[in-house]
């Protein structure tokens, strides 16, 4: 009654096929995370680096991105949180033996402790101080999942957090199990937690020394391509006087910051090496209205041949 059967094959098809499609999709996502560079989407190839969020990247792709933030379309979205190579760790991975044939679905890397394959089926971690990569279960087996009894008894009486460092089972580097064990390809929830930890740690970073700051400012004048382009657009729209960033050749701005800063350094050197005659030329030509300040006097005295 009512169940005439007409719709039953359709429903069965849906029930059967939808989970299959979802499964295939999930398998592809896992492959993408564990076998491929999160940035270039190329197969992971050593040297492999990882960030504070446990993503895996080919180091060459990441360097490419740091030199040119537009090298990958969605680069900013994927690794906008990576400011320099200091924000990533080169991983010490254990290759599977024998190595899988190219393009196969077998993991390239394994846990050195229990040989579990790094294929997304098991949680993996890396140690931030040395970069060694282990399966979570392998590392737990070796270092234990609770703090050592010694540190526990110490802490209970004094109330002081006096954490005892663990030792990497592969290379003996010391690490803290509470802050130095980074989950590789974490779940969404864990990634959010890791993001919070990263932001908290960065907010506590000491301000860089003065010389570094000055260098950063010099680099900041170059900025990245998009920012310069934006400024150019703004200045043409508003016909402002050109900002310092525009004085620099756009071709230089488009290049790497490293290149730009080395050019700036060269320019400074060149100026420093100028003869007094040239200097006076410069002065008469450009500095006429300005009085020589104490700083410039000092500079010229110091560098005069």
- Beta bridge partner(s), residue 48: 58
Q: CB 126 → Zn ion: shortest distance, Å? A: 9
Q: CB 168 → Zn ion: shortest distance, Å? A: 3
Q: Which residues, other chains included, contact 52 with Cβ-Cβ below 8 Å and sequence gap of 6+? A: 81, 87, 182, 194, 195, 197, 198, 201
Using rule CB under 5 A, residue 113 touches Zn ion: no
Distance CA 223, CA 262 (A): 14
Q: CB 166 → Zn ion: shortest distance, Å? A: 10
Q: Which is nearer to Zn ion, 65 or 124 (CB)?
A: 124
Using rule CB under 5 A, residue 171 touches Zn ion: yes
Instruction: Output Rg (C-alpha) for the chain, integer angstroms.
Output: 28
Which position among 61, 130, 133, 222 is part of the footprint of Zn ion (CB under 5 A)? 130
Which one of 57-65, 165-173, 222-230, 264-272 is the stretch in contact with Zn ion (CB under 5 A)?
165-173
CB 219 within 8 A of CB 257: yes
Bond prior to 98 in cis (omega within 30° of 0): yes
Number of C-beta neighbours around residue 219 at 10 A: 14
Residues binding Zn ion: number (CB under 5 A): 6
Using rule CB under 5 A, residue 184 touches Zn ion: no
Q: What share of the chain is helix, strand, coil (3-state, %, to 5)?
A: 50, 10, 40
Q: What is the DSSP string of 86-127?
A: GGSEE-B-EE-SSPPPTT-SS-SEE-TTT--B-SSSS-EEEE
Q: Which is nearer to Zn ion, 75 or 138 (CB)?
A: 138
Q: CB 297 → Zn ion: shortest distance, Å? A: 54
Q: Which is nearer to Zn ion, 136 or 235 (CB)?
A: 136
Q: CB 263 → Zn ion: shortest distance, Å? A: 39
Using rule CB under 5 A, residue 143 touches Zn ion: no
Q: CB 129 → Zn ion: shortest distance, Å? A: 7
Which DSSP helix (H) or strand (E) runs through 56? strand 56-58
Q: CB 198 → Zn ion: shortest distance, Å? A: 21
Give the x/- contact pattern for Zn ion in 198-227, rule: CB under 5 A. ------------------------------
Using rule CB under 5 A, residue 168 touches Zn ion: yes
3-state secondary structure of 181: strand
Q: Which residues, other chains included, contact 181 with Cβ-Cβ below 8 Å and sequence gap of 6+? A: 125, 126, 127, 128, 139, 175
Q: Which is nearer to Zn ion, 130 or 260 (CB)?
A: 130
Using rule CB under 5 A, residue 132 touches Zn ion: yes
Q: Which is nearer to Zn ion, 130 or 253 (CB)?
A: 130
Q: Which is nearer to Zn ion, 37 or 132 (CB)?
A: 132
Positions in the binding site for Zn ion (CB under 5 A): 130, 132, 168, 170-171, 173
């Amino acid at each position: 009654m009512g169940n005439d059967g007409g719709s039953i094959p359709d429903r069965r098809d849906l029930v059967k096929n939808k989970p299959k499609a979802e499964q295939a999709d999930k398998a592809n996502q896992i492959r993408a995370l564990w076998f491929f560079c999160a940035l270039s989407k190329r197969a992971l190839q050593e040297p492999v680096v990882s960030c504070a969020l446990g993503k895996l990247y080919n180091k060459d792709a990441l360097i490419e991105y740091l030199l040119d933030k537009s090298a990958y379309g969605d680069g900013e979205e994927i690794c906008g949180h990576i400011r320099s190579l200091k924000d990533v760790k080169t991983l010490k991975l254990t290759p599977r033996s024998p190595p899988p044939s190219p393009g196969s679905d077998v993991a390239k890397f394994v846990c050195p402790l229990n040989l579990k394959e790094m294929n997304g089926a098991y949680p993996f971690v890396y140690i931030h101080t040395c970069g060694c990569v282990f399966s979570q279960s392998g590392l737990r087996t070796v270092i234990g999942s609770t703090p050592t009894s010694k540190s526990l008894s110490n802490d209970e009486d004094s109330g002081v957090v006096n954490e005892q460092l663990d030792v990497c089972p592969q290379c003996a580097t010391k690490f803290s199990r509470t802050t130095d064990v980074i989950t590789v390809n974490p779940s969404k929830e864990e990634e959010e937690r890791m993001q919070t930890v990263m932001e908290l740690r960065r907010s506590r970073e000491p301000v860089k020394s003065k010389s570094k700051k000055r260098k950063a400012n010099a680099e900041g004048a170059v900025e990245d391509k998009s920012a310069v382009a934006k400024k150019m657009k703004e200045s043409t729209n508003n016909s402002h006087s050109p900002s310092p960033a525009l004085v620099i050749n756009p071709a230089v701005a488009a290049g790497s910051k490293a290149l730009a800063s080395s050019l700036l350094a060269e320019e400074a050197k060149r100026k420093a090496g100028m003869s007094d005659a040239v200097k006076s030329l410069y002065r008469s030509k450009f500095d006429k209205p300005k009085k020589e300040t104490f700083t410039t006097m000092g500079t010229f005295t110091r560098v005069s041949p």
